[in-house]
Amino acid sequence: MGPEQNIKRHDTDILILGTGGAGLFAALHAQQSAPPDTKITIAVKGLLGKCGCTRMVQGGYNVALGPGDTVERHFMDTIEGGKWLPNQQMAWRLCEEAVVRVQELENEIGCFFDRNPDGTLHHKAFAGQTADRTVHKGDLTGIEIINRLMEQVLSRPIERLQEHRAIGLIPTRDGAALAGVLMIDMRTGSFRFVRAKTVLMATGGGPSMYKYHTPSGDKTMDGLAMALRAGLPLRDMEMVQFHPTGLLAGDHSRMTGTVLEEGLRGAGGQLISHARQRFMFDHDDRGERATRDVVSRGIYAEMRKNNNPEQEGVFISMAHLGPENVRRKFKGMVQRCADSGFDLAAGLVEVVPTAHYFMGGVVVDVDTHTALEGLYVAGEDAGGAHGSNRLGGNGVANSTVYGGVCGDTMGADIRKMGTLRDPDEDKLAAEVERACHPLSRKATVVQPLRQKLQEAMWEDVGVLRTRTGMERGLKRIAEISGELMDLGVSPENLAFNLTWHDWLNMRSLCDVSEVIAKAALERENSRGAHFREDFPEAGELDASYFTVAQQSAGVVKMERHAVDFSIVRPGETILPEGEPETLVIST
């Protein structure tokens, strides 16, 4: 088998990559807004509704519906939590439309969220928020949302390409627009090129290039790697969110790194050192309820004090809240810990900061358009809404809000589009050749190399960063990338050839890891998830900038762009009496 093999050709009108909250919502909204004869196709690396990160959401969904809460307060929490780096138009739309979307989830999609005795939605406390605004279904919110969305999609005439891995965004010959997407049909190992008038990239993030990470191992930043090769600008790529409390179940357990949700700390959970002392109030007046970046740094600093491989993490303690109360309120978390041999309700559970969410992504406008005509991006693949730090509960809200926005936008845009576009056949052949690279080399295994990358990123481009460490990390990434190009995969049977996909996963992770490190070197201050020990100050908020990475001829270049304070400036706040166009500002 080689690059010259026959490529299957497939046409559709609207192509959606990914079946998380963004992809499924986009499919439903596109069907409502597009002309009746529009063909809609969903492609997913795994099985529809059974993979991705939205399904793994535990904590909940931020929406300003609680007593005394307002969209303006939610917006200000998002801006301040993001350390004044968010795209303010995107952040406002997220907070405003979350109210609409959560009602749609309940009344049209069929979700059931927890309620108070009076019938109102129950809101629990999450860090960094001035009101309890996280709507939830116990601590298994994502499963509820995805299951109901999946039912809706399966009941409609939407074409499904399951176990199809997207590997390349293929432009037209003049490079002015997107013609379609090259995929691998994982069931056969064959290539399929799908032309489409509009394409939504909602493949999710997944910073699994770190030693401790929450996403499943098949989440490998494929979308951002494809966007990078397509020459699209990527913003905030240094902003990797570490969730403070990832389960530490041992190096040989796949449960290591999985999240113990933020609601545990919101409910009063305490972080305890190996000396059995609380320590978070040494780092922030809010203690355990500080934002994720602050708590992660506090835990990491405590870990460095130990310098003992037998005492790597810290502990979370819930027993003082009453074991039966904890078992009732956090059934999913208690069971998850029990599966790994820990008693969350009555004992101590060891935790460690774990790479959880990626605030960076493709530069988009508030309607999800990108710089490439025909390509739209929503969910974790899109940058801008969160700035340097995502508030817990804003992730699934972001995916579902902008998934719906994108579906509406594509449905409207497609009415103005003509015929399908023809691809640049040279670019198509180059992407096939790129994927086939390991098939002509001696077969081996890839996993040890992935572990090397995870160690390098954790040690050199992790929770606390320095120029020396990141420069060392870039050298390690380059060496690992070189080693990867020498690894091979047996071409005899490419159907569900997991070693081949391990290799492709590693290629994506190496490409994106390089950009993370270069963006982190470019930011010479500390904001949100990005903390440099050699530049510990946040810098002037009025002079805030975000980093933009763009690849040309295989070389990644970095720029700084000034933040547009289009709604509110540092030192100002929004009064709830305002409307989006006529916001009342008080200093």
| pLDDT in the model for residue 321 | 95
Same domain, 14 and 41: yes
Is 450 noted as a catalytic residue in this protein?
A: no
- How many residues are present in the chain? 587
For residues 226 and 41, the answer to whether their CB atoms sit within 8 Å is no
| pLDDT in the model for residue 258 | 86
Q: Is residue 235 part of a domain?
A: yes
Q: Among candidates 126, 580, 165, 27, which has minimal Cα distance to 395?
A: 126
What does the alpha-carbon distance between residue 357 and residue 390 come to, in Å, rounded to a whole number?
A: 8
Q: Phi then psi for 423, rounded to 5 degrees?
A: -85, 160
For residues 82 and 95, the answer to whether their CB atoms sit within 8 Å is no
Same domain, 63 and 195: yes
User: How distant, in Å, are the alpha carbons of 22, 487, 502, 504, 505 from that of 447?
Assistant: 30, 11, 7, 12, 10
Our count of domains for the chain comes to 3
Cβ-based neighbours of 293, under 8 Å, separated by 6 or more: 241, 242, 388, 389, 528, 529, 531
What does the alpha-carbon distance between residue 297 and residue 315 come to, in Å, rounded to a whole number?
A: 15
Same domain, 137 and 216: yes
What does the alpha-carbon distance between residue 501 and residue 49 come to, in Å, rounded to a whole number?
A: 20
Q: Which member of 29, 195, 265, 476 is catalytic?
A: 265
What does the alpha-carbon distance between residue 60 and residue 47 come to, in Å, rounded to a whole number?
A: 23
Q: Is residue 550 part of a domain?
A: no
What does the alpha-carbon distance between residue 408 and residue 99 come to, in Å, rounded to a whole number?
A: 17
| pLDDT in the model for residue 510 | 98
Residue numbers of the domain that contains 294 = 243-354
Q: Among candidates 111, 121, 99, which has minimal Cα distance to 144?
A: 111
Is 243 noted as a catalytic residue in this protein?
A: yes
| pLDDT in the model for residue 577 | 62
| pLDDT in the model for residue 5 | 61
What does the alpha-carbon distance between residue 91 and residue 93 come to, in Å, rounded to a whole number?
A: 5
Q: Is residue 430 part of a domain?
A: no
Tell me, what amino acid is at 221?
Answer: M
Instruction: State CA 242 to chain mean position distance.
Output: 11
Considering Cα of 72, then 77, then 80, then 82, what sign does the dihedral take?
A: negative
Same domain, 202 and 306: no
Q: How many CA atoms lie within 13 A of 308 on its CB side?
A: 10
* DSSP secondary structure code for residue 58 in this structure: -
| pLDDT in the model for residue 522 | 98
Q: Residue 515: which CATH number?
A: 1.20.58.100
Tell me, what amino acid is at 430?
Answer: A
Same domain, 57 and 190: yes
Q: Dig out the tokens for 353 from the structure.
A: 């900061």
Same domain, 289 and 171: no
What does the alpha-carbon distance between residue 20 and residue 103 come to, in Å, rounded to a whole number?
A: 19
Instruction: State CA 236 to chain mean position distance.
Output: 13
Q: Is residue 586 part of a domain?
A: no
Same domain, 281 and 410: no
User: How distant, in Å, are the alpha carbons of 245, 540, 546 from that of 84?
Assistant: 25, 10, 10
Q: Is the pTM of this model over 0.85?
A: yes
Same domain, 312 and 368: no
Q: Residue 292: which CATH number?
A: 3.90.700.10
Same domain, 130 and 194: yes
Q: Is residue 561 part of a domain?
A: no
Q: Give the helix/strand (H/E) hosting 357.
A: strand 348-358
Q: Is residue 570 part of a domain?
A: no
Q: Which residues pair with 246 in a beta bridge?
A: 259, 352
Q: Considering 304, 328, 354, which residue would you say is the last residue of a domain?
A: 354
Q: Which member of 10, 243, 297, 386 is catalytic?
A: 243
Per-residue pLDDT of the chain in tens (587 residues, 90 and over written 9) = 444 468 999 999 999 999 999 999 999 999 999 999 999 999 999 999 888 888 788 789 999 999 889 999 999 999 999 999 999 999 999 999 999 999 999 999 999 999 999 999 999 888 888 999 999 998 889 999 999 999 999 999 999 999 999 999 999 999 999 999 999 999 999 999 999 999 999 999 889 999 999 988 888 999 999 999 999 999 999 999 999 999 998 776 778 888 898 889 989 999 999 989 999 999 999 999 988 889 999 999 999 887 676 778 999 999 999 999 999 989 888 998 999 999 999 999 999 999 999 999 999 999 999 999 999 999 999 999 999 999 989 999 999 999 999 999 999 999 999 999 999 999 999 999 999 999 999 999 999 999 999 999 999 999 999 999 999 999 999 999 999 999 999 999 999 999 999 999 999 999 999 999 999 999 999 999 999 999 999 999 999 999 999 999 999 999 999 999 999 999 999 877 644 444 544 43
Cβ-based neighbours of 166, under 8 Å, separated by 6 or more: 17, 43, 45, 181, 182, 183, 201, 203, 222, 223, 226
* DSSP secondary structure code for residue 535 in this structure: B
